[in-house]
Structure 1
């Protein structure tokens, strides 16, 4: 009996030794690392924490990936560069895929981490305004390429208002925050995660949510061109898996993201408190009812249908759209 048990254990050990390398090879193929370029939306801020954490901890390298992480100049600009083949992947506000495809772009969202709509209007924390209807007679500031731009009239209409009732000023992105913090505008059109932590010190604010007026718009995730999805699927899948690992880690350890971002972008003069707040708020907006319990990055058809209906109502996409043209879950596990 003792010999039989020993022999059984030896056989099991042999199979385990053979299986382990096979599993490792499936996760990270042998050979030179696969080069991937990722263009971010803007200069460093909390929504990018998973990218920087993965690079800082060597998790991309473990997956046999050589990832070039590039700072961006806006989600719209990043989408243009990805569509032009100048970057493999863009980390952007994926709701912009609707307007991009309407203009002929051949891109899709391949993973959406921040699936809940986070478009908001910042107003003073003590302001009485709580809904769109309360903005009558107030002034708002926004920049022309903002994802808010096509939704302004739709949002105001939900409150029974038009631009005759609310002053909307378009400014250069560099002047956006200065205009708001100097109180030359009553509200700033932005996103919850990016804006609230920045406003905390200079002008403590609260958010009026676009979602409260029926506007749906998936927030931050990853996009790629259709031919890149088809030709580099296994590489993209590994990168998404690393991002899932990083975001899962950040759920309980946001300070690790703060430290990683400061280490990876030492010249950016990043504020740890702002980064921490941005990371936490980003994660707060991960789930919708339709995506609850699904893997990080997985996209619900219902959420995209709601987003496309909002984009159609705003005149961004034409009627007759096919929802699966805008996203795919084939790379999310």
Structure 2
């Protein structure tokens, strides 16, 4: 069975696809001049995790669903969470851990699709260093960004070793360069994202936060409650298309997705090999034990309960919240998964 087939998540895919196709044709013919507009804010400049979004643009999947989507590059998940929470964008693509923290600070945001459901955050160390634990980092220079996702988790991750680690706080845009030039011995970031970027100059491997009790969800889609009330049906179509595009990408269309990213950002110095490597390296992070039999994008309360516990222990969020405060699966219609393959 292909990766695509395993992720349809519906028993009567033919009927569902036919029903969906009919509804989309009706929408296209009846509202061709009034497509629903959605403003999307990304977490950063285009990278491998944006593959299904740009592919949907190129394949016309958004247009077919009567959506007019504008895509703005970001400069960090934390800022994207704040902007979407403030209503400046209809939907965001960012680390859902940053979204959870934004929610705890009063932002009316909620995750509508979780893609990286196994934590991808960690410390990148030289591949030949042999460093595998926090204790191995004692006496080493470790670059991080206080205002980024990792900032609130520095204390719980390093624990008693923190005073023995030389932590270098650098701007997010300069963090990777600090590692590649050797100014820092290691760097904290999303491991699958960074590995291909440093591979040619300073190959690395990762020490993951999750291995030390910090189960933090990675990239996904989220929106504010006011926007869901205002544009719920349109956001549901968008979320369903992006979630449904991932199985298509993984079923042998990785290079097609890479070309879609490059084509949509012709002025950026994007390396197709890096983009492809990011897609491949992220694949193992799409499922946890709780979600291994569920379609991509669907989230599970058990995973969020673990995240809440980790964040409460780290005193990043207040006690008393519950998983459903942070996520909903109501904005993924798996019927779109079958339609995308057409």
TM-score (norm 1): 0.90
Of 72, 76, 82, the residue aligned with 1:80 is 82
Query: 2:23 corresponds to which residue?
Result: 25
Query: 1:194 corresponds to which residue?
Result: 193
RMSD of aligned C-alpha atoms? 1.6
CA deviation map 1:36-56 (0-9, x unaligned): 111000111111111111101
Query: 1:7 corresponds to which residue?
Result: none
Query: 1:171 corresponds to which residue?
Result: 170
SS at match of 1:262: helix
CA distance in 1, matches of 2:49, 2:19: 34
CA distance in 2, matches of 1:272, 1:239: 25
SS at match of 1:52: helix
After TM superposition, give the deviation of residue 233 of structure 1 in Å: 2.0
CA distance in 2, matches of 1:316, 1:134: 26
CA distance in 2, matches of 1:20, 1:253: 23
CA distance in 2, matches of 1:156, 1:267: 40
Return 288-297 or 222-231, whichever deviates more: 222-231
CA deviation map 1:143-167 (0-9, x unaligned): 122211111111112xxx3321111
Return 210-219 or 236-245, whichever deviates more: 236-245
CA distance in 2, matches of 1:260, 1:66: 17
After TM superposition, give the deviation of residue 291 of structure 1 in Å: 0.6
CA distance in 1, matches of 2:25, 2:212: 43
In structure 2, runs of 5+ residues without a counterpart are 1-16, 334-342
After TM superposition, give the deviation of residue 26 of structure 1 in Å: 5.8
Change (3 A) 1:245 1:322: closer
State whether residues 24 and 64 of structure 2, in contact with CA within 8 Å, keep that contact through their aligned partners in structure 1: no
Change (3 A) 1:274 1:22: closer
After TM superposition, give the deviation of residue 257 of structure 1 in Å: 1.3
SS at match of 1:193: helix
Query: 2:152 corresponds to which residue?
Result: 150
**How many residues align structurally?**
312
After TM superposition, give the deviation of residue 307 of structure 1 in Å: 0.6
State whether residues 78 and 99 of structure 2, in contact with CA within 8 Å, keep that contact through their aligned partners in structure 1: no
Is residue 2:260 matched to residue 1:233? no
CA deviation map 1:81-133 (0-9, x unaligned): 11111100000001112211121100000101111100011100011211112
Return 130-139 or 50-59, whichever deviates more: 130-139
CA distance in 2, matches of 1:209, 1:284: 14
CA distance in 1, matches of 2:298, 2:161: 36
Return 170-179 or 84-93, whichever deviates more: 170-179
SS at match of 1:163: helix
Change (3 A) 1:162 1:63: same
CA distance in 2, matches of 1:284, 1:61: 30
CA deviation map 1:153-182 (0-9, x unaligned): 11112xxx3321111110112321221111
State whether residues 28 and 64 of structure 1, in contact with CA within 8 Å, keep that contact through their aligned partners in structure 2: no
Query: 2:203 corresponds to which residue?
Result: 204
State whether residues 98 and 316 of structure 1, in contact with CA within 8 Å, keep that contact through their aligned partners in structure 2: no
In structure 1, runs of 5+ residues without a counterpart are 1-18
CA distance in 1, matches of 2:104, 2:177: 33
CA deviation map 1:60-88 (0-9, x unaligned): 11111100111111111111111111100
Query: 1:304 corresponds to which residue?
Result: 304
Query: 2:182 corresponds to which residue?
Result: 183
TM-score (norm 2): 0.88
CA distance in 2, matches of 1:101, 1:244: 23
After TM superposition, give the deviation of residue 216 of structure 1 in Å: 0.6
CA distance in 1, matches of 2:137, 2:26: 53
SS at match of 2:199: helix
Of 122, 132, 135, the residue aligned with 2:134 is 132
Query: 1:261 corresponds to which residue?
Result: 261
Query: 1:222 corresponds to which residue?
Result: 221
State whether residues 39 and 89 of structure 1, in contact with CA within 8 Å, keep that contact through their aligned partners in structure 2: yes
Bigger Rg, structure 1 or 2: 1
